[in-house]
Amino acid sequence: ADYQTAGKGRLNHSWFSDKGKNVLLTIVKKLDVEIYNSYIINFYVSLIVLETLKKFLNESDKLYTKWPNDVLFGEKKIAGVLSEKVNDIFIIGIGINVNQDVFPEELKEKATSIFQVDGREICLNSVIYKLIEEFISNLELIKRPAEVVKVWRKSFRFSGRKVKYLLSGNDERIAMVVGVDDDGGIILDECGIRKKYYSGEISNIRV
């Protein structure tokens, strides 16, 4: 899409994008994934987005994943993924901040774009082409969920960090990230008690 009037992220967060500035893409595809492994799609597509961004950013070593479905540059979000399964069809929404030059005040410390990082505009079609190429050429990987998570972990830099964890609604907690399990669940240490969660959202504690 060239523009969204009501873009959504996880937990009903909104997705901001100026018209014609960013990649706003939906992939609708039947995938050979068992229902209990559906979580792997977010991990797989996050990896695909990360690999795509590496082709367009000079400082690609600053890219990393954030559980369960975001890609960050430094401490700021540069891309996000949202997927759902309808019968045997996956609907995968992908947002990549490409040429966004200005963000609303409330997002300035939370979001960035290729343009803000490198100071140059990128052809959106070239990003989409590379993204689809990466998506298709690596599809066999989704048949090996544990391997997807293993590769994903290499770009996950929250282990050992204290974070805010939003479970649902206003249920926000402070916890230490232990890691992400092979089944996609995040393991948090809450006052010495380890718990594993499969939904929710983590965020940095800003000081």
Residue 77: is its pLDDT beyond 50?
yes
User: Residue 16's pLDDT band (boundaries 50, 70, 90)?
Assistant: low
pLDDT value at residue 11? 47
Angle between helices 40-54 and 124-137 (to 10 degrees): 130
Which domains are present in the chain? 10-153 (3.30.930.10), 162-204 (2.30.30.100)
pLDDT value at residue 2? 53
Other beta carbons within 10 angstroms of residue 72's beta carbon come to 23
In contact, 81 and 7? CB cutoff 8 Å? no
User: Residue 6's pLDDT band (boundaries 50, 70, 90)?
Assistant: very low
Comparing 17 with 196, the larger pLDDT belongs to 196
pLDDT value at residue 3? 47
pLDDT value at residue 206? 64
User: Residue 18's pLDDT band (boundaries 50, 70, 90)?
Assistant: confident
Residue 13: is its pLDDT beyond 80?
no
Letter for the amino acid at 88? D
In contact, 70 and 79? CB cutoff 8 Å? yes
Joined together, the tokens standing for residue 195 give 């718990």
Residue 17: is its pLDDT beyond 60?
yes
C-alpha to C-alpha distance for 49 and 80, rounded to whole angstroms: 8
How long a stretch of residues is the chain?
A: 207
C-alpha to C-alpha distance for 41 and 91, rounded to whole angstroms: 10
| Average per-residue pLDDT for the chain | 89
Residue 58: is its pLDDT beyond 80?
yes
Give the DSSP per-residue string, 72-124: EETTEEEEEEEEEEETTEEEEEEEE--S-----GGGTTTB--HHHHHS----H
Share of the chain above pLDDT 90, in %: 76
Q: What is the pLDDT of residues 88-142, one digit of tens each?
A: 899 999 999 999 999 999 999 999 999 999 999 999 999 999 999 999 999 999 9
Angle between helices 40-54 and 145-153 (to 10 degrees): 40
In contact, 1 and 19? CB cutoff 8 Å? no
Residue 23: is its pLDDT beyond 70?
yes
In contact, 32 and 143? CB cutoff 8 Å? yes
What average pLDDT does the segment 39-58 reach? Answer: 95
Task: Specify the residue for token string 């689809």.
Answer: 132
Residue 155: is its pLDDT beyond 60?
yes
Q: What is the pLDDT of residues 62-73, one digit of tens each?
A: 999 999 999 999
C-alpha to C-alpha distance for 144 and 134, rounded to whole angstroms: 17
pLDDT value at residue 5? 46
